[in-house]
Chain A
Amino acid sequence: MSDGLLTVMAGYCTGPSIPRSTQLWVEALRRHSRHLLLVFDNPAPAQLPPSWQGPDLTLVFERHGGYDFGSYRLGLEQAQTRGLLEPASHVLLCNDSVLGPLGDLGPLLQRMQAAPDQAWGLTASHQLTPHLQSYFVLLGRALLERGPLRHFFESIEPLPSRYAVIQRYELGLSRAVLAAGASLQAWVEPQVVLDPRIGQPAGNPTAFPLSLVELGVPLIKARALRELSANQEGIAATCHLIAARNPELWQALWAESPQRRFWMQQLRIGVLLAAADAERLPERLAWLEGQAQTGVQLLLPISAAAPQQQARLRCDHAQAIARGQLQLLPILEADRPGGDLQQALAAAAVDWLCLASAALWKTSLALSLQALQIAEQPTLPHSQGEPRLWRRAWLLSQPVESLHRLADRMV
């Protein structure tokens, strides 16, 4: 716990109870705060978590319509009234738009509290003008008491849209910090986060959740699991990251989120065909069209020593290849048993693999059921039952003899 940290968390909840994922984030904040003020921009829900009581916690449920900054203002006013501000050395302003913790908050918070008059954000952005992103900003109390910041928080009023709030207050907070003589310090500076696809600075760092976690940010934005545009690194990989780093959080998300099917549809699954399937591709593609699980690819290993066969297949099935339904995997002459499967695995641009079998072609739902299983448990090395889905990375880590045995099962 940080001796002098007062945390104000802005929340919004319209359901009958507080989502478990929010509760986990609150628990993490509470562990590191001298006092935690939860300010919701809505009336109290019917049920509150039993643990949400105690001398270190204050709850405020009030529809003020001021979004996060309205809650920050209200929280600071409450802190002042209740005498919570004075003993605090630092104030953390954060909201419930995040999923975490995905790492230890301790070292980060310690570093941010090293000086009494600094302003820290987890991330910063240059979008429009340089600013700290307001979902997690830590201010030294000495800084908070300076004129520009006092005036900034006193002037917060409800605005008509979330955009207007961001435009005026998120950018305004950073300008107030600068006017108060402090600099903007970000745990991850904007120029540090590069778009892995092009190596150029990422415009909005929070759209790169895997990169941020790699750079030491112990949370991700909840939007990164809901909106494709808010996640440039893949929803499926992000689900895996959460499940691996905080299984309890993943279970909570799976239980309470309406996005389960969305996550399932984001899995990149390939069906590894046998060489003989080259002659039956129209039939196999028709089977693929009938699948409930979308985004599945057929993977056809072909000998690199037969370039004309490869060319013919590319010509005959250009449309399926362009649509991403079919991938040709050129295989060099394999000099040991299982080697061709190993090469196919290395070349396949999918995360999950299913080996073609006679039984597979007779079913249209079984693959979806397997996909549901791995969507729910993203860290599994393989699903249970048939047709089994194998994590490609896990298969690649297996001895080649095991792959040989696996290849023998293919029909």
Chain B
Amino acid sequence: MPAPTASSPALREALLEHCRLAGWIPLHIGRSGQEPGLEEALLEIIATRDAKATQLSLELIERCEQLGWRSPWLLDNRARCLVHQGRDEGAIAIWLQLQRHSDAGVAAIAADTLRALHRRPAAAVQANRIRQLREENRPELWQPLLLEALLEASGEDAEPLQELLAAASLDFSPPPGSPWDPDLLRQELLLHLYEQQLNRVEEQLP
């Protein structure tokens, strides 16, 4: 592993400056009892993720890497941030790599995490991703994904997706003068999803 290009105090300095510019008051870096270095950086990375500041968490990881610090725990934390952001594919790629790591502890944790991820039914994974994209207000991404997942899922697996459909349909305001009815809204959303799908297919026709 190459040596870091920045010393532990320099790493601390850089991360403190980054936190300041992001409006984040560090909970670990530079606090009493903490030694400068990767350990306090990792604690801060976890704290920011726990506070849902996943972008900042990823930025701190990048800052460590830019300064030459390498650790499988940086990668593991990057993957955890990606899961929080609903970007499971990127996370899985990282843990697949860590599964083969020379440190048995790292490899075991990566393998366990992957097993836990794969134990989730496909529909639940999709539902998680769609929920995340809805929270991010990205209809152009979650709407086609929801339709695709609904068409593929069946039986009990489809339940989380149906719940999502019901919840998402409540966000749709009915046209002026129309009655407010949850069943109608659900149908409206489904029709909207199908219409979008057809438009996409039409666009791809020669």
- For B173, the closest partner residue in chain A by CB is A258
Of the candidates A127, A163, A184, A226, which one forms a contact with B138 in the assembled complex, judged by CB atoms under 8 Å apart? Answer: A163
Knowing A130-B53, A161-B140, A227-B171, the reply to whether A175 touches B22 (Cβ < 8 A) is: yes
Knowing A175-B21, A178-B22, the reply to whether A203 touches B52 (Cβ < 8 A) is: yes
Least Cβ–Cβ distance between A264 and chain B, in angstroms: 9
Q: A309-332, CB under 8 A of B: which get 1 and which 0? A: 000000000000000000000000
| B160-206, CB < 8 A from A | 167, 170-171, 173-174, 176-182
Are A258's CB and B170's CB within 8 A?
no
| A175-203, CB < 8 A from B | 175, 177-179, 183-184, 190, 201, 203
| A160-177, CB < 8 A from B | 161-163, 166-167, 171, 174-175, 177
Say if the beta carbon of A260 comes within 8 Å of chain B.
yes
Are B181's CB and A126's CB within 8 A?
no
Knowing A163-B136, A203-B52, the reply to whether A131 touches B170 (Cβ < 8 A) is: no
Are A163's CB and B137's CB within 8 A?
yes
Say if the beta carbon of B54 comes within 8 Å of chain A.
yes
Say if the beta carbon of B71 comes within 8 Å of chain A.
no
Are B140's CB and A178's CB within 8 A?
no
- For A177, the closest partner residue in chain B by CB is B23
Q: B1-20, CB under 8 A of A: which get 1 and which 0? A: 00000000000000000001
| B55-113, CB < 8 A from A | 55-56, 59
Q: Which residues of B contact A167 (CB under 8 A)?
A: 136
Say if the beta carbon of A359 comes within 8 Å of chain B.
no
Q: Which residues of B contact A361 (CB under 8 A)?
A: none
Say if the beta carbon of A228 comes within 8 Å of chain B.
yes
Q: How far is the CA of A262 from the CA of B171 in the complex (A)?
A: 11
Q: How far is the CA of A259 from the CA of B48 in the complex (A)?
A: 38
Are B138's CB and A260's CB within 8 A?
no
Q: Which residues of B contact A229 (CB under 8 A)?
A: 134, 167, 170-171
Are A261's CB and B23's CB within 8 A?
no
Say if the beta carbon of B116 comes within 8 Å of chain A.
no
- For B136, the closest partner residue in chain A by CB is A163
Are A178's CB and B21's CB within 8 A?
yes
Interface residues on B, range: 20 to 34
Knowing A162-B137, A175-B21, the reply to whether A261 touches B170 (Cβ < 8 A) is: no
Knowing A163-B137, A261-B181, the reply to whether A129 touches B170 (Cβ < 8 A) is: no
Are B20's CB and A178's CB within 8 A?
yes
Say if the beta carbon of A133 comes within 8 Å of chain B.
no
| A258-287, CB < 8 A from B | 258-262, 265
Interface residues on A, range: 20 to 34
Say if the beta carbon of A358 comes within 8 Å of chain B.
no
Q: How far is the CA of A126 from the CA of B24 in the complex (A)?
A: 9
Are B180's CB and A258's CB within 8 A?
yes
Q: Which residues of B contact A179 (CB under 8 A)?
A: 21
Q: Which residues of A contact B59 (CB under 8 A)?
A: 129
Q: A22-51, CB under 8 A of B: which get 1 and which 0? A: 000000000000000000000000000000
Are B22's CB and A129's CB within 8 A?
yes
Q: Which residues of A contact B20 (CB under 8 A)?
A: 178
Q: How far is the CA of A177 from the CA of B167 in the complex (A)?
A: 36
| B24-74, CB < 8 A from A | 24, 48, 51-56, 59
Are A126's CB and B180's CB within 8 A?
no
- For A265, the closest partner residue in chain B by CB is B182
Say if the beta carbon of A128 comes within 8 Å of chain B.
yes
A selection of 25 A-B contacts at a CB cut-off of 8 Å is: A15-B176, A127-B53, A128-B52, A128-B56, A129-B56, A130-B23, A130-B24, A130-B53, A131-B23, A162-B137, A163-B137, A166-B137, A171-B55, A175-B22, A178-B22, A184-B23, A190-B51, A226-B170, A227-B171, A228-B170, A258-B177, A258-B178, A260-B180, A261-B179, A261-B181
Other 8 A-B pairs with CB < 8 A, given A130-B56, A227-B170: A126-B53, A161-B137, A161-B138, A167-B136, A178-B21, A229-B134, A261-B180, A262-B180
